[in-house]
């Protein structure tokens, strides 16, 4: 690290759990963020500020005026432009020394597999079950840890799925692929802006913990946030041996 980096990251380096070594790990890490919206915005901003050396943003959407109430990586001048371009500009303004790859696409299949396999941690900041399941399948296959977040109305949820740990469930152990979960979109249900901030910031925290080896990852627990009461509920989640995605993986 050069003098600028030692200053920029000094408040991380001062933490015994992180120090120079942990910060170096962040600088050398590659995080893939699927979705550059309400969850992806705070997550990406914190990861960029923290010095994650390479961030890849994937989103095929453009910034819309209705996004600005909560998608804090984008500003009024970004309306009409691709979210990943707006996001890349915001992240590099915050930390010009990192590398940001902006992919304006809906990554699926082999493409998604390649992106996941090239990453140290994946953040699912998407808003639909088809994407969540595709990202989970790729993470299980490539054994790359997945930090999954979701938020709607006043409710948020967060968990970590890490198939490097044989006891860890995958996303499909909790939400089976064949179950009829209905996608509820912010566009119809509404979402309380700070709830995506709370969940997105914690996704960044879990990613940094995994990268730097700090504390206990949230593996095996689903955290539910009730934004009206400002209350958290923690639910233990176990592997499903009959899971269609990870059942035969170990």
**Binding footprint of Zn ion on the chain (CB under 5 A):** 170, 172-173, 243, 245-246
How near is the Cβ of 246 to Zn ion at its closest, in Å? 3
Nearest residue to Zn ion, scored by beta-carbon proximity: 243
Q: Can 170 be counted among the known catalytic residues?
A: no
How near is the Cβ of 22 to Zn ion at its closest, in Å? 30
The secondary structure of residue 65, as a DSSP letter, is G
How near is the Cβ of 179 to Zn ion at its closest, in Å? 13
**Which residue, 34 or 170, has its beta carbon nearer to Zn ion?**
170
Rounded Cα distance between 140 and 133, Å, is 10
**Which residue, 79 or 113, has its beta carbon nearer to Zn ion?**
113
**Which residue, 178 or 230, has its beta carbon nearer to Zn ion?**
178
Catalytic residue among 125, 139, 173, 186: 186
Going by C-alpha positions, the residue among 165, 207, 189, 192 that lies closest to residue 34 is 207
**Which residue, 150 or 172, has its beta carbon nearer to Zn ion?**
172
Rounded Cα distance between 195 and 152, Å, is 8
CB-CB neighbours of 4 under 10 Å: 9
**Are 101 and 55 in contact, with CB atoms under 8 Å apart?**
yes
CA 47 centroid distance within chain: 10
Distances (CA, A) of 98 to 11, 26, 118, 121, 130: 18, 11, 17, 16, 31
How near is the Cβ of 242 to Zn ion at its closest, in Å? 9
Residues taking part in catalysis: 186
């Amino acid at each position: 690290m050069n003098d600028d980096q030692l200053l920029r990251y000094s408040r991380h380096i001062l933490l015994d759990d992180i120090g120079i070594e942990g910060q170096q790990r962040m600088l050398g890490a590659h995080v893939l963020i699927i979705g550059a919206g309400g969850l992806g915005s705070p997550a990406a901003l914190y990861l960029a500020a923290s010095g994650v050396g390479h961030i890849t943003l994937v989103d095929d959407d453009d910034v819309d005026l209705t996004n600005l109430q909560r998608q804090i990586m984008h500003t009024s001048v970004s309306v009409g432009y691709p979210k990943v371009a707006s996001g890349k500009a915001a992240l590099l303004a915050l930390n010009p020394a990192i590398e940001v790859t902006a992919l304006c696409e809906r990554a699926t299949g082999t493409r998604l597999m390649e992106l996941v396999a090239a990453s140290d941690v994946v953040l699912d900041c998407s808003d639909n079950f088809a994407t969540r399941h595709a990202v989970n399948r790729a993470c299980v296959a490539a054994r790359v840890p997945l930090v999954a977040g979701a938020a709607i109305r006043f409710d948020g949820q967060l968990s970590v799925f890490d198939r490097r740990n044989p006891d860890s469930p995958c996303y499909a152990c909790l939400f089976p692929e064949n179950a009829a979960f209905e996608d509820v979109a912010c566009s119809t249900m509404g979402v309380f802006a700070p709830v995506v901030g709370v969940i997105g910031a914690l996704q960044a925290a879990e990613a940094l913990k995994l990268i730097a080896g700090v504390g206990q990852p949230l593996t095996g627990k689903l955290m539910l946030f009730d934004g009206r009461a400002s209350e958290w509920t923690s639910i233990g989640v176990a592997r499903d041996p009959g899971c269609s995605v990870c059942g035969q993986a170990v």
